């Protein structure tokens, strides 16, 4: 009974289930933005950057993605249901008059999306569908220490809802029959984020950003064969750290590189617990070994100012796989990913907009696990691709 594998359904990225695209301008630059951080989405990317914004500023947008996973193996060829996910974003910032302080408030979804395999793939007993919604409200305070150095920090107020399902063999009666098992739960957790922005020279800028781990103690119900039982599971979302360098050879060019680390090493065993009395359908404790590994994203971005408020950007990301072969589950078919992006934007005195397109693909990942069941059930070739569009609109009072 490996239902906990569905607590973290796949989405358009490697690095487990992180969703790092939280602004159209940053997405167009391959998310290489921590050392630039010059619009209100800095609340997510680097809170120290909001000290660069003059006036009361608002920015709203969304990241829409279509993604597809495919499987080929001895058990046949299968693919996931077409998925169209939308991650909304909203940010606002305001400098406090007469002080070097700026306050901000952001709302975004740093994890989530979903996956659902069609048909009856051989790995359906490990996991076949699920979704995770994770919403963050993030108040921030930033301090401009001097013209070159700013720091910022905030609290993250996080709500998450998980729904997961898989096929389960039930016996007696004999012969065994397939039934669909589902767990639903939700929880609230508090975390923090912080950042530093240092620009010692107009051509050079450095940024670092940190996001703390959070633990969601999901509480809800498990359902199978029309029966429902209270259930709970704790899932640890990772800390992550980003460091970046921006180089502006001329005022019209901005080139940046970021190194983004996600700490999945602390995600080892997750246990689904059912309240007493236990039964064959609802055992008291169901351990699930994740044993994920920490991994990196390497992010490159460039922006060219075209004049008259127009700019164009491009970016590339290499995202490392976080799920080792011996812990692989098709509900999180993680792999190395290559992600390419382009974008355009325009700004006026008060209004601005940015639009980005992103394409990602994962080279074929081949699993050939040996040993007792269920390990061989996942064996085969897995491929991935995605298309995404991101739009943001800003206004400054």
Residue 12, pLDDT above cutoff 60: no
Transcribe 207-234 into DSSP letters: EEEEE--EEEEEEEEEEETTEEEEEEEE
Measured distance CA(240)–CA(210) in Å, rounded: 6
Q: Average pLDDT for residues 287-299, to the nearest whole number?
A: 86
Neighbours of 94 (CB within 10 A): 18
Q: Which residue has the higher pLDDT, 168 or 121?
A: 121
Alpha-carbon distances, residue 337 vs 319, 386, 387 (angstroms): 5, 10, 13
With H, G, I as helix, E, B as strand and everything else as coil, classify residue 184: strand
Alpha-carbon distances, residue 244 vs 16, 238, 300 (angstroms): 22, 20, 10
Residue 3, pLDDT above cutoff 80: no
Domain limits, the chain: 3-396
269 Cβ partners below 8 Å, 6+ apart?
A: 287, 288, 289, 290
pLDDT at 1: 33
Residue 89, pLDDT above cutoff 50: yes
Closest by alpha carbon to 14, among 326, 267, 236, 298? 298
pLDDT above 90: percentage of residues in the chain: 57
Place of tokens 């065994």: 176
The 10s digit of each residue's pLDDT in 13-69 is 445 588 999 999 999 999 999 999 999 999 999 999 999 999 999 999 999 988 888
pLDDT at 266: 83
Place of tokens 């040996």: 370
Residue 373, pLDDT above cutoff 70: no
Q: Per the structure block, which two tokens stand in for 24?
A: 């159209």
Closest by alpha carbon to 330, among 367, 363, 355? 367
Measured distance CA(257)–CA(35) in Å, rounded: 9
108 Cβ partners below 8 Å, 6+ apart?
A: 22, 44, 87, 88, 89, 90, 91, 135, 136, 138
**Of the listed ranges 83-92, 116-125, 157-166, the one predicted with least confidence:** 116-125
pLDDT above 70: percentage of residues in the chain: 92
Residue 86, pLDDT above cutoff 90: no
With H, G, I as helix, E, B as strand and everything else as coil, classify residue 376: helix
H-state helical runs in 259-368: none
Q: Which residue has the higher pLDDT, 81 or 196?
A: 196
pLDDT at 171: 63
- Assigned superfamily of 3-396: Outer membrane protein transport protein (OMPP1/FadL/TodX) (2.40.160.60)
Instruction: Say if residues 321 and 295 touch (Cβ distance below 8 Å).
Output: yes
Q: Average pLDDT for residues 165-175, to the nearest whole number?
A: 67
Beta-strand pair 101-116/129-144:
antiparallel
Q: Per the structure block, which two tokens stand in for 161?
A: 């809802």
Q: Residue 11's pLDDT band (boundaries 50, 70, 90)?
A: very low
pLDDT at 14: 47
pLDDT at 345: 98
pLDDT at 115: 77
Distance, CA of 338 to chain centre = 16
The 10s digit of each residue's pLDDT in 108-152 is 999 986 777 877 788 777 776 778 899 999 999 999 999 999 999
The 10s digit of each residue's pLDDT in 216-260 is 999 999 888 778 889 998 889 999 999 999 999 999 999 999 999
C-alpha dihedral sign at 152, 140, 21, 134? positive
Q: Which residue has the higher pLDDT, 384 or 300?
A: 300
pLDDT at 85: 82
pLDDT at 124: 77
Cis peptide before 374 (omega within 30 of 0): yes
The 10s digit of each residue's pLDDT in 173-223 is 656 677 778 888 999 999 999 999 999 999 999 999 999 999 999 999 988
Determine which helix (DSSP H) or strand (DSSP E) holds 25, and give its type and residue range: helix 24-28
Residue 95, pLDDT above cutoff 90: yes
With H, G, I as helix, E, B as strand and everything else as coil, classify residue 168: strand
Q: Average pLDDT for residues 83-95, to the nearest whole number?
A: 92
Max mean pLDDT range (49-63, 312-326, 371-385) = 49-63
């Amino acid at each position: 009974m490996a239902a906990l594998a569905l607590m973290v359904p796949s989405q358009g990225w490697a690095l487990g289930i992180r969703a790092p695209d939280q602004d159209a301008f940053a997405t167009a630059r391959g998310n290489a933005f921590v050392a630039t951080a010059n619009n209100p989405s800095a609340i997510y990317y680097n809170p120290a950057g909001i000290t660069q914004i003059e006036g009361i500023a608002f920015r709203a947008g969304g990241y829409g993605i279509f993604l597809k996973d495919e499987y080929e193996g001895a058990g046949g060829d299968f693919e996931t249901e077409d998925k169209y996910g939308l991650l909304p974003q909203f940010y606002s910032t305001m400098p406090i008059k007469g002080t070097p302080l700026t306050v901000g408030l952001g709302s975004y979804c740093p994890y989530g999306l979903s996956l659902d395999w069609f048909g009856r793939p051989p790995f359906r007993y490990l996991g076949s569908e699920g979704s995770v919604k994770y919403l963050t409200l993030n108040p921030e305070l930033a301090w401009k220490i001097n013209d070159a150095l700013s720091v910022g920090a905030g609290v993250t107020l996080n709500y998450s809802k998980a729904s997961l399902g898989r096929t389960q063999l039930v016996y007696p009666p004999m012969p065994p029959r397939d039934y669909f098992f589902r767990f639903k739960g939700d929880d609230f957790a508090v975390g923090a984020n912080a950042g530093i922005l240092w620009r010692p020279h107009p051509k050079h800028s450095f940024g670092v950003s940190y996001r703390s781990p959070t633990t969601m103690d999901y509480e809800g119900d498990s359902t199978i064969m029309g029966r429902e039982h209270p259930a709970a599971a704790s899932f640890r979302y990772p800390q992550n750290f980003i460091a970046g360098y921006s180089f502006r050879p001329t005022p019209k060019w901005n080139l940046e590189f970021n190194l983004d680390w996600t700490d999945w090493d602390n995600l080892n065993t997750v246990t689904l617990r059912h309240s007493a009395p236990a039964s064959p359908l609802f055992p008291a404790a169901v351990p699930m070994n994740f044993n994920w590994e920490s991994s990196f994203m390497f992010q490159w971005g460039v922006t060219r100012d075209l004049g008259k408020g127009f700019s164009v950007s491009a970016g590339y990301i290499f995202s490392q796989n976080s799920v080792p072969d011996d812990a692989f589950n098709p509900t999180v078919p993680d792999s190395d990913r290559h992600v390419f992006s382009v974008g355009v934007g325009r700004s006026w005195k008060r209004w601005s907009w940015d639009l980005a397109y992103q394409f990602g693909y994962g080279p074929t990942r081949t699993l050939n696990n040996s040993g007792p069941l269920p390990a061989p059930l996942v064996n085969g070739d897995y491929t991935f691709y995605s298309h995404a569009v991101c739009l943001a609109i800003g206004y400054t009072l």
